[in-house]
Amino acid sequence: MKVLVSDDGLRNSWTKSLKLEDIYDDLGQKLNLSQDEATKFDYFFLYWVWLHWGQYLSVSTDEDLQEIEHIVANFYSLEALQICLKHSPFRNTLDEKFVQFIEEVTAKHIEGRNA
């Protein structure tokens, strides 16, 4: 992910070879970013999802669960991250159980903010 974010040529070749230009155009419109900026942002987003997924899988105590819930609630409830969670072309590569956890925790957090 870091290489794809930092290497313009590789990222552009990757995006083009996977025929993701239209998807990232659409994501860019949703995020108010260019196609390339949306691509970088999505890869950055995916990096964090996989990092937090590893933390989620290592939960063994109530304190661990509270910590990951706090991180997820505050980080993934941000609008741009909600958009990537729904529209990333790589969503299907994410652990569905963890995605469901993110959606449940952020829904509660957003409801609490709006109450």
CA distance 115 to 7: 43
Q: What is the average pLDDT value for the chain, to the nearest integer?
A: 94
CA distance 75 to 9: 30
pLDDT tens by residue, 9-55: 999 999 999 999 999 999 999 999 999 999 999 999 999 999 999 99
pLDDT tens by residue, 54-91: 999 999 999 999 999 999 999 999 999 999 999 999 99
CA distance 30 to 27: 5
Task: Please give the tally of structural domains in the chain.
Answer: 1
Residue 115: predicted pLDDT:
67
User: Does residue 111 have a pLDDT over 90?
Assistant: no
The pTM score is: 0.88
Range of the domain at 27: 2-114
